[in-house]
Structure 1
Amino acid sequence: MNGTKRLEKSYEVMFISSSDLSVTRDTYQRELNSRRVREIAESFDERVANEPKVSARDGRFYVFDGQHTMPARKLLNGGRDLPILCKVYTGLTEQDEAVLFAEQTGISAKVYPGSKIRALVFGGDPDAIAFVEATESAGLHLSFNQSRGLKHIGCVAAAYGEFMSAGADLYTEALRVIAAAWDGHKYSLRAETIQGVTEFIKLYHDEYNPKRLISRCRRYDPMHIYRRAKAAGDSLPAPQRYIFEVWNIYNGTSRANTLPLKF
């Protein structure tokens, strides 16, 4: 954060034509949301609007905060280019821009977890990079746009929280169990399942049998943990109710392999 604060001070305010402003979307930026642009334009007030944050790099101006307010201003100008007052930063690398984009705050559009982590990965954040590597070592991938698919995790924030809480080894172990049990089915990669299995493994790491857990999970629908936890309502707080469902699956009716309730 200290580096970010230093970078925040190194800017000057100047007018730049919208025709000269670029957005890099093939590395860390989000795709342009046309609906978001229209919503901003409907209630836009230049008197209270924030200036777009721009990086002057390689002879061009790259917008790293304000990519939706910029076209909203142009929309209100009848689709014609216009001068826009910007905060222009100098001396930033594209990686610096990515980190600032990920850490932006205020009334701008929310930086969704997938976009934020994607930006942190591009910016070289060691935890974010280790998170991606741990996920892929389990044969799975992260969907930074929050979409679900075969072997693709859309609940990036929940997965990242488990990675940071459990550590790379236990997080990877949990993903491997899930992937082996349900063959990477998209519904098995919901937040509830990832949290339940990871937290279960944290609690019972030295006691449970991974092969038994995989075999037992295979007997159930990929949505089982989610559905059972939802039906239980608030009888237990999350993630305890997800752990409880994994515990129930593991124990089944066996007495020889029963694990004690620890939560």
Structure 2
Amino acid sequence: RAKVVGGDAISKAFLAATNRVGLSLNYDSQQLTDYRIGCVGTAFRLYKQMGEPLYCETMRLIVVAWEGKPDSFRASVLKGMMHFVELYHGEFSEERLLRALRNIHPVDIYRIGQDDPAKLRGWKKYVFPIYTAYNGKCRKDALPMKF
């Protein structure tokens, strides 16, 4: 918040990008409300790391899939979704991804990642549940594992 108020250009661009996709920042993470990102630090790091276009696309997908529910803005979900969209950009079907995401609760992405069934580390353990939900049991048009 201080960087935005202080006029930091990257922070202001991050806030503007977040607002453009219909979201706002929640600086009080104890107050979980719809369409507000509680893990501002994680979102800001991902914005700087991935760039504005990928950040906006991913946030839009999260909003559409889970209707802006607070659990969908957990750090684990943001990391998993950002890296999934980055890895498979131009390869995945948006319709299929949204259908898959609607069938998994955002908290399950965290739980599955913590259980770590594929023995993955870091952000990869949060991409895995999204990847498996997307591919499902169907081998037709399945995405290859790139992580």
**Counterparts of 1:154 and 1:233, CA distance in 2:** 27
**Counterparts of 1:129 and 1:176, CA distance in 2:** 19
Give the match for residue 87 of structure 1: none
Counterpart mapping for 1:133-152 below 5 A: 133-147=16-30, 148-152=32-36
- Say whether 1:223 aligns with 2:104: no
Unaligned ranges ≥5, structure 2: none
**Counterparts of 2:2 and 2:85, CA distance in 1:** 30
TM-score normalised according to structure 1 size = 0.53
Q: Percent identity?
A: 37
1:260 maps to a residue whose letter is P
Counterpart mapping for 1:10-49 below 5 A: none
- Say whether 1:213 aligns with 2:130: no
Give the match for residue 186 of structure 1: 70
How far 1:171 moved relative to its partner?
Answer: 0.6
- Say whether 1:177 aligns with 2:61: yes
Counterpart mapping for 1:240-255 below 5 A: 240-255=124-139
How far 1:139 moved relative to its partner?
Answer: 1.3
Counterpart mapping for 1:250-261 below 5 A: 250-261=134-145
Structure 1 residues 164-206: Cα deviation after superposition (integer angstroms, max 9, x where no partner): 1110110111111111111011111100001100111011102
State the secondary structure of the residue aligned to 2:106.
coil
**Counterparts of 1:142 and 1:256, CA distance in 2:** 39
Unaligned ranges ≥5, structure 1: 1-117
Structure 1 residues 121, 233: CA separation in 2 closer, same or farther (over 3 Å shift)? farther
Which has the bigger relative contact order, CA under 8 A and spacing at least 6? 2
How far 1:249 moved relative to its partner?
Answer: 1.2
How far 1:234 moved relative to its partner?
Answer: 9.0
2:97 maps to a residue whose letter is L
State the secondary structure of the residue aligned to 2:119.
coil
How far 1:233 moved relative to its partner?
Answer: 7.4
Structure 1 residue ranges (4+ consecutive) displaced by more than 2 angstroms after TM superposition: 145-148
Computed over aligned residues only, the root mean square deviation of the Cα atoms, in angstroms, reads 1.4
How far 1:235 moved relative to its partner?
Answer: 2.1
**Counterparts of 1:206 and 1:185, CA distance in 2:** 26
TM-score normalised according to structure 2 size = 0.93
How far 1:230 moved relative to its partner?
Answer: 1.3
Please tell me whether the aligned partners of residues 131 and 160 of structure 1 are also in contact (alpha carbons under 8 angstroms).
yes
**Counterparts of 1:257 and 1:224, CA distance in 2:** 24
- Say whether 1:128 aligns with 2:14: no
1:138 maps to a residue whose letter is V
1:259 maps to a residue whose letter is L
2:125 maps to a residue whose letter is R
How far 1:123 moved relative to its partner?
Answer: 1.1
**Counterparts of 1:211 and 1:170, CA distance in 2:** 17
Give the match for residue 46 of structure 1: none
Say how many residue pairs are matched: 146
Between Structure 1 and Structure 2, the one with more helix by share is 2
Structure 1 residues 103-134: Cα deviation after superposition (integer angstroms, max 9, x where no partner): xxxxxxxxxxxxxxx11111111110111111
State the secondary structure of the residue aligned to 2:77.
helix
**Counterparts of 1:123 and 1:254, CA distance in 2:** 51
The structure with the larger Rg is 1
1:196 maps to a residue whose letter is G
